[in-house]
């Protein structure tokens, strides 16, 4: 049986289940050790799609995670297996000659995996080898990679990033490559952008790599600067409710909103008199004012100087003829398409401010809770004042979430199901311990994040049950937290 060579550092049931199932899988050569890595999904509490515009984001690593085990293979082929892929209609086993991957740049690898829809899922795993080869010159050789994931796909909780980060960590473990968590996350983002073909920001991979259990990762996406963890106050809980509506970052809505935001930034740069230069097919803007990020435009600047000068929408051909292109390297402006511009531009400007306020309120709430531990008689009045102040902060936190949700919808990234879940949370309200809710990740369905008072699980369950009765969709409750890939480390398994 397969057993860990060293003691487990974390008590994680999914890891124990994975190891227990290895014997039946009969996938690895029992004569050689296996390297296991794990990375969690994430719940996007605040920030979401504003990540690609440089916003601060607040992300919670979930209990649900992806696990990848890797082993060198003397055969010159990369073999990837996934039980979940088979259940979703893909091939259980994908085998690619190592020489074929070694001959690929990012575009070639993307074409290779896209050629057969039933093997496309393997890009999330084997893409790690492509990224290491292209960016670090790593020689590709045979490898076996076994994937198991409990992160629900298509729900906006970063199942893809969890897989990418777990795969990259396992492959690096096999090859003896040391990457920092930030380096690993940025490389995984390149895999998703350039091999998988999904134009995501970096927050998902950073959370999967650098997250800590029961702690929010505060990440300034310029491009990926952790600004310190935020411990969730003991007086609150964060939940996710699955709307049952599938979400896809690679979908047209997400991509068009992203293009619209970069069109908006290009127009603002022109209005501000910044110098733009096209080098090859990449646009460069000399921007010491906002450093290339819409999030650095303040709401007051936007309202006073730019809002009414940015068009509501613009046809791609007209934009290209006037401005030449955008600074985004992972999307293209389609000439025949009409893009919404003003709202996708405004969203990250305001979202960055909302997230900054949210983080400050959370930290002040933690201070209030800590102070509230004194219960002697002479402090009762102070305790009442603190309790009132804590309640006010909870109400403000909830309102910021509702504002974020409304802004998603204004961008065209809402969905009937997620809107209804938010309405149900609002209707239940603070008297049932529910303070705020919002759509998460790339929007257009998926999971709704809920801010609740500690001990309000029953109220969250009632919301989910009512939604399920109304829509017929299974409203899975998502909760709990676990360490990111770097905190988990790698685990060496041997057969005895």
Helix intervals (H) in 305-436 = 316-323, 342-371, 380-410, 416-428
Q: Per the domain annotation, does 280 fall within a domain?
A: no
CA angle 104, 327, 288 (to 5 degrees): 130
- Per-residue CA distances from 289 to 50, 57, 71, 269, 286 (Å): 19, 21, 48, 9, 9
Distance CA(406)–CA(413), nearest Å, equals 10
Q: Per the domain annotation, does 191 fall within a domain?
A: yes
Residue located via tokens 């809505």: 253
- For residue 402, how many other CB atoms are within 10 A of its CB? 16
So which residues are the catalytic ones?
Answer: 204
* Structural domain boundaries enclosing 195: 2-230+482-495
What is the number of alpha carbons within 13 Å of residue 18 lying toward its C-beta? 25
DSSP string, 156-205: SS-HHHHHHHHHHHHHHHHHT----HHHHHHHHHHIIIIII-----SHHH
Query: According to the model, what pLDDT value does residue 458 have?
Result: 98
Residue located via tokens 């350039």: 194
Q: Per the domain annotation, does 201 fall within a domain?
A: yes
Collapsing DSSP to helix, strand or coil, 40 comes out as: strand
> CB of 289 within 8 A of CB of 332?
no
Distance CA(306)–CA(274), nearest Å, equals 14
Query: According to the model, what pLDDT value does residue 252 have?
Result: 58
Q: Per the domain annotation, does 418 fall within a domain?
A: no
Report the DSSP pairing between strands 143-149 and 77-82: parallel
Distance CA(81)–CA(94), nearest Å, equals 6
Q: Per the domain annotation, does 16 fall within a domain?
A: yes
Distance CA(217)–CA(205), nearest Å, equals 11
Question: What is the count of structural domains for the chain?
Answer: 1
> What is the distance between the terminal CA atoms of the chain, rounded to a whole angstrom?
5
Q: Per the domain annotation, does 64 fall within a domain?
A: yes
Q: Per the domain annotation, does 258 fall within a domain?
A: no
Query: According to the model, what pLDDT value does residue 378 have?
Result: 59
Q: Per the domain annotation, does 199 fall within a domain?
A: yes
Query: According to the model, what pLDDT value does residue 326 have?
Result: 97
Distance CA(155)–CA(157), nearest Å, equals 6
> CB of 22 within 8 A of CB of 69?
yes
Longest dimension (CA), the chain: 76
CATH code for the domain in which residue 196 is found: 3.30.230.10
What average pLDDT values come out for the chain (496 residues) when binned by 10 residues? 92 96 94 98 97 97 98 97 86 96 97 95 98 97 97 90 98 98 97 94 95 96 92 95 80 87 99 94 94 99 98 98 95 97 99 98 86 58 85 98 98 96 99 98 94 98 99 95 98 97
Residues 6+ apart with CB under 8 A from 381: none
CA 408 and chain centroid, separation: 16
Kindly report the backbone phi and psi dihedral angles of residue 481, in degrees, each rounded to the nearest multiple of 5, phi listed first: -150, 160
DSSP string, 414-467: --HHHHHHHHHHHHH-GGGTEEEEEE-TT-SSSEEEEEEETT-HHHHHHHHHHH
């Amino acid at each position: 049986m397969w057993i860990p060579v060293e003691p487990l550092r974390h008590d994680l049931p999914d890891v124990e289940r994975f190891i227990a199932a290895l014997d039946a899988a009969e996938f690895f050569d029992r004569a050689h050790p296996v390297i296991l890595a794990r990375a969690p999904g994430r719940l996007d509490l605040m920030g979401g799609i504003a990540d690609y515009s440089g916003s601060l984001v607040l992300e919670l690593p979930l209990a649900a995670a992806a696990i990848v085990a890797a082993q060198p293979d003397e055969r010159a082929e990369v073999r990837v297996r996934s039980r979940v892929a088979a259940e979703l209609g893909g091939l259980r086993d994908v085998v690619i000659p190592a020489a074929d991957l070694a001959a690929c740049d990012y575009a070639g690898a993307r074409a290779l995996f896209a050629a057969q829809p039933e093997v496309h899922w393997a890009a999330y795993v084997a893409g790690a080898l492509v990224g290491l080869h292209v960016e670090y010159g790593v020689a590709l050789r045979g490898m076996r990679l076994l994937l198991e994931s409990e992160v629900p796909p298509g729900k906006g909780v970063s199942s893809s990033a969890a897989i990418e980060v777990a795969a990259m960590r396992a492959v690096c473990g096999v090859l003896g490559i040391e990457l920092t968590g930030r380096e690993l996350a940025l490389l995984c983002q390149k895999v998703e952008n350039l091999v998988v073909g999904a134009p995501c920001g970096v927050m998902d991979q950073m959370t999967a790599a650098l997250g800590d259990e029961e702690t929010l990762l505060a990440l300034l996406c310029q491009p990926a600067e952790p600004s310190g963890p935020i411990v969730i106050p003991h007086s609150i809980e964060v939940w996710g409710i699955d709307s049952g509506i599938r979400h896809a970052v690679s979908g047209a809505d997400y991509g068009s909103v992203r293009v619209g935001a970069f069109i908006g930034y290009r127009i603002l740069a022109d209005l501000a008199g910044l110098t733009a230069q096209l080098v090859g097919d990449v646009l460069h803007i000399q921007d010491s004012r906002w450093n290339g990020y819409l999030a650095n435009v303040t709401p007051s600047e936007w309202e006073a100087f730019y809002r009414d000068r940015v068009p509501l929408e613009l046809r791609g051909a007209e934009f290209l003829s006037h401005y030449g292109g955008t600074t985004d390297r992972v999307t293209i402006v389609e000439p025949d398409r009409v893009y919404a511009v003003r709202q996708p531009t405004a969203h990250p400007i305001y979202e960055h401010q909302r997230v900054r306020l949210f983080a400050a309120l959370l930290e002040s709430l933690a201070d209030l809770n800590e102070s509230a531990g004194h219960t002697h008689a002479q402090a009762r009045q102070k305790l009442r004042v603190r309790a009132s102040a804590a309640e006010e902060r909870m109400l403000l936190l909830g309102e910021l979430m509702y504002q974020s949700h409304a802004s998603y919808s204004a961008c065209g990234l809402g969905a009937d199901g997620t809107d209804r879940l938010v309405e149900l949370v609002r209707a239940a309200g603070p008297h049932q311990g529910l303070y705020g809710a919002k759509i998460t990740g790339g929007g257009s369905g998926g999971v709704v994040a809920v801010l609740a008072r500690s001990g309000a699980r029953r109220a969250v369950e009632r919301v989910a049950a009512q939604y399920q009765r109304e829509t017929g969709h299974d409203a899975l409750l998502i909760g709990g937290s676990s360490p990111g890939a770097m905190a988990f480390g790698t685990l060496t398994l041997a057969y005895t």
